[in-house]
A and B are shown apart, each in its own frame.
Chain A
């Protein structure tokens, strides 16, 4: 069975603090894909990053960085110097490579509140 767990339901930080959102996944597929999406108050999910199971290289994009560790089945997301505009719900998701159907398994989501 495939599963994604985001243990942090809500996080509240003050602007300019760094914050890490945790994501742990379970899958038996050897090929799989991991995603992070952001859902602002408007409701639309915005794609942030995709990582395939063969690429454990960490990635940095501006204030965002992602740490993928297969050994611990984790794909954590860090926002450096958080801003009020980062306030949103963040979802981690998994797609097994064997199906190729586009069926994503989502975590429960982490609500991030950045206070000024």
Chain B
């Protein structure tokens, strides 16, 4: 079955360490996204990529970095510069452009929960 795989599901990090969250999709989607979820704040966009080798900052990109070397993969690195990294991270993807019904729908992975010790 096609879908999005995020790993690891749970991750613990010591302060000052960089960590990388993996996101892989086999949906042949062009665009991929990283969202951060905090209690009571909904989801906020960190980075997105609409095509291989290109990506744009979202609303809260500071302290994060991404790469898009392959269509299927969009890893997120949480750097030591991120002041409050403890959160639930969700990766999503979709086909670019619009369908006859309008904007294409985002498909989400199951998420990665990062805790800083």
Contacts and interface: CB of A to CB of B under 8 A. Distances in A.
B48 A101 contact: yes
B53 interface: no
B94 interface: yes
Contact of A52 (B45, B103, B105, B109): B103
Most chain A CB within a 10 A radius of its CB, from B41, B50, B102, B110: B102
A43 B111 contact: yes
B90 interface: yes
A10 to B, nearest CB: 10
B2 interface: no
Interface residues of A, number: 27
A101 B58 CA distance: 11
Nearest to B40: A108
Given A50-B103, A50-B105, A95-B103, A100 B110 contact: no
B101 A109 contact: no
B50 A101 contact: yes
B108 to A, nearest CB: 4
Contacts of A46: 108
Given A35-B105, A50-B103, A102-B96, A44 B111 contact: yes
Contacts of B58: 103
A44 B109 contact: yes
B109 A108 contact: no
Interface string A77-116: 0000000000000010101010011111011110000000
Interface of B: 31, 33, 35, 40-45, 48, 50, 56, 58, 88, 90, 92, 94, 96-98, 101-111, 113
Interface of A: 4, 6, 9, 33, 35, 37, 42-47, 50, 52, 91, 93, 95, 97, 100-104, 106-109
